[in-house]
Amino acid sequence: MLKGIPPILSPELLKVLCEMGHGDELVIADGNFPGASCAKNSILLRADGHGVPELLEAILTLFPLDEYAPPVALMAKAPQDEALDIPIWDEFRRIVNKYTDAPFEFVERFAFYERAKKAYAILMTGEKAIYANVIIKKGVVKF
1 pLDDT above the threshold of 80: no
Maximum distance among all Cα pairs of the chain, rounded to whole angstroms: 46
Q: What proportion of the chain, given as a percentage, has pLDDT over 70?
A: 100
Active site residues: 22, 66, 113
Do 34 and 111 meet the contact criterion of CB atoms below 8 Å apart?
Answer: no
pLDDT of residue 46: 98
Which domains, and CATH codes, for the chain? 20-137 (3.40.1650.10)
How far is the first Cα of the chain from the last one, in angstroms, to the nearest whole number?
25
Q: Given a cut of 80, is residue 15 above it in pLDDT?
A: yes
Q: Any idea what the Cα angle at residue 36 is, between residues 93 and 124, rounded to 5°?
A: 35
pLDDT single digits (tens) 82-103: 999 999 999 999 999 999 999 9
In the three-class reduction of DSSP (H, G, I as helix; E, B as strand; rest coil), residue 137 is classed as strand
pLDDT tens digits, one per residue of 46-79:
999 999 999 999 999 999 999 999 999 999 999 9
- For the chain, what is the mean pLDDT? 97
